[in-house]
Structure 1
Amino acid sequence: MWTLLPSGGLRVTGADRVDFVQGQMTGDLRGAPTPGVVACAFLNVRGQIEQFARAYKRADDVYLHLDAGQAAALLARLKRYIIFDQVEVEDVSETLRTVHVWEGAGLPGWNAEGPDAQSFELGSGTVLAGRVNRSGTPGVDLHYLARHEAEVLAALGGEEASLEALDAARIRAGIPDVARDGFLGVLPQEVGLDVGGPLPAISYRKGCYVGQEIMARLEARGQTRYHLAQLAGDGWTVGADVTHAGKVVGQAGLNVDGLGLARLRKDLPEDAEVQVGGTSARVQTLAARR
């Protein structure tokens, strides 16, 4: 089973590519193997998420896989920081496509026991593949040239599942999608991106990057006021305010099949009944569903 992912991407080349990207992202790209893939966020100076990406470290480049519509803003940001660095950054959103294979065991060319990032021939060209959990079970993201899409999908065979079905699976598993859930502009620790969270994307030992001082303070303090939780209910839009006893206590993410993720205050009572965009919902902690 596979799902086409609306996405974009940047390709970073040049002698300083790894060090340059390392100095911008929350994950530890320098410490990753080659090939390797690292989940990360790009923050502003207040430590809030501007973009979420998966960075693929390869022998000749760094590929940043982003959600749809995110590449142009990250490209502009990275270009502002190029001073003496020997790097070039290219937006490849129009030339590449991505499909998520829900389970990689039967994927032709994929070594289930191999590294998290691999390249192999599929269809009429070479694909870049990364082990990514988008449904509660580790699957594989495949990145390929747009002109090869028909051949790649034919080689996959199997059944196409809708993006809504993939969203429903990840929400049940408690896995956020930063862009689709509308969680841009918040602290990573508040929406499951911290170490030990459902989508770890931070290294506290990698050195300086934009927003790193705020991350260090949060690590020392040990907590934030908000965390990632689930809401049982239906009928709200992404980003809707969540209220309890007349006060705003968070924001709701995507809702599918009567369940959604949300950024909520930690001091909310367990199983609290809340209002989301005028509809009733009930809070479910992620731990309670595991």
Structure 2
Amino acid sequence: MWTRLPSSALRVTGADRVDFVHGQMTNDLRGAPTPGVVACCFLNVRGQIEFFARAYRRQEDVYLHLDAGQAEALAARLRRYIIFDQVELADLSGELRTVHVWDEAALPDWNPRGGDAQTFELAGGTVLGGRVNRTGRPGVDLHFLTRHEEAVLAALGGEEAPLDALDAARVRAGIPDITRDGFVGVLPPEVGLDVGGPLPAISYRKGCYVGQEIMARLEARGNARYHLARLRGEGLPGHAEVTREGRVVGQAGQHAGGLSLARLRKELLSGDAVEVGGVPATVDLAPTPADA
């Protein structure tokens, strides 16, 4: 089973590509193997998420996989920080396609015991795969040239699952999608991106980056007021305020399969009654992906 992912992409080349991208993102690209992939954020000076990406470190480049429509804006941001760095940016959004294969064992020529990033031949062309948990179990984000799309999808065979089905699986597993859930503009530890969270995208041991001081302060004090939780309820509106007794206590993401993920105040407990955009809901603290 596989699902098409709305995507955009940046390719970063040049002698300083790894150091340059590493210095802009929240996670440790230098520490990744070659090939390797790490989830990361690009923050503003207040530590709030501007972009979420998966960064692939490869022999000749760094490939940044983003949600649809984001590559141009991230490229503009990165260019503001190029001073003496030997790097070049190329928007490959029109040239690449991405699908998520739900079960890595079902992907031809992918090695389930191999690294998290693998390049191999499929349908007469070279494809890039990255091990990504989007459903509560390891799957593969498969990246390939647009002109090879028909042949690659034919080689995959199996059933195409709609994006709504993938959303329902990830929400059930407690895995956020920063763009689709509308969590851009919040602090990473508030929505499951901290170390030990369902989608770790931060290293507290790497060098400075925009927003790093705020992240270091949160780690030292452990005082993020919000965390990631699930809400149960039928017909909940997506991307709406969560209230309790008239007080705003969080924000809900996408609604799928009778559940929503939410950035919620930590004092709320499982079973507490809240409202999402005026619709009744119940707090259900999200499991880790391993528990789903």
The two structures have a TM-score, normalised by structure 1, of 0.98
Amino acid at match of 2:29: L
Q: Does 1:217 align with 2:217?
A: yes
Amino acid at match of 1:145: L
Following superposition, the deviation at residue 70 of structure 1 comes to 1.2
**Which shows bigger deviation, 275-284 or 263-272?**
263-272
**1:235, 1:287 → 2: CA distance?**
22
Q: Does 1:259 align with 2:290?
A: no
**1:269, 1:142 → 2: CA distance?**
38
The C-alpha deviation readout for 1:198-253, integer Å capped at 9, x for no partner, is: 00000000110110000000000113100000000132333200000110000000
Q: Tell me the C-alpha RMSD between the 2 structures.
A: 1.1
Percent identity of paired positions between Structure 1 and Structure 2: 73
Corresponding residue of 1:21: 21
Tell me, what secondary structure is at the counterpart of 1:165? helix
The C-alpha deviation readout for 1:105-146, integer Å capped at 9, x for no partner, is: 121111111110000111131000000000111000000000
CA contact (8 A) 2:28 2:206 kept: yes
Corresponding residue of 1:103: 103
Corresponding residue of 1:83: 83
Amino acid at match of 2:21: V
Corresponding residue of 1:46: 46
Corresponding residue of 1:115: 115
The C-alpha deviation readout for 1:73-106, integer Å capped at 9, x for no partner, is: 1010001111100000111111100000001112
Tell me, what secondary structure is at the counterpart of 1:152? helix
The C-alpha deviation readout for 1:145-166, integer Å capped at 9, x for no partner, is: 0010000000101111110001
Q: Does 1:234 align with 2:234?
A: yes
**2:22, 2:235 → 1: CA distance?**
40
Following superposition, the deviation at residue 287 of structure 1 comes to 4.2
Consecutive unaligned residues in structure 1, runs of 5 or more: none
Amino acid at match of 2:101: V
**2:223, 2:131 → 1: CA distance?**
29
The C-alpha deviation readout for 1:11-59, integer Å capped at 9, x for no partner, is: 0000000000000000100000000000000000000000000000000
Tell me, what secondary structure is at the counterpart of 2:73? helix
Amino acid at match of 2:196: G
Corresponding residue of 1:131: 131
Q: Does 1:163 align with 2:176?
A: no
Tell me, what secondary structure is at the counterpart of 2:100? strand
Following superposition, the deviation at residue 196 of structure 1 comes to 0.2
Corresponding residue of 1:191: 191
**1:54, 1:198 → 2: CA distance?**
15
Following superposition, the deviation at residue 268 of structure 1 comes to 1.7
CA contact (8 A) 2:269 2:285 kept: no
Following superposition, the deviation at residue 271 of structure 1 comes to 1.2
**1:129, 1:107 → 2: CA distance?**
10
**1:236, 1:69 → 2: CA distance?**
26
Q: Does 1:246 align with 2:269?
A: no
Corresponding residue of 1:37: 37
The two structures have a TM-score, normalised by structure 2, of 0.97
Tell me, what secondary structure is at the counterpart of 1:201? coil
Following superposition, the deviation at residue 288 of structure 1 comes to 9.2
**2:257, 2:212 → 1: CA distance?**
37
Moved over 6 A (4+): none
**1:165, 1:239 → 2: CA distance?**
18
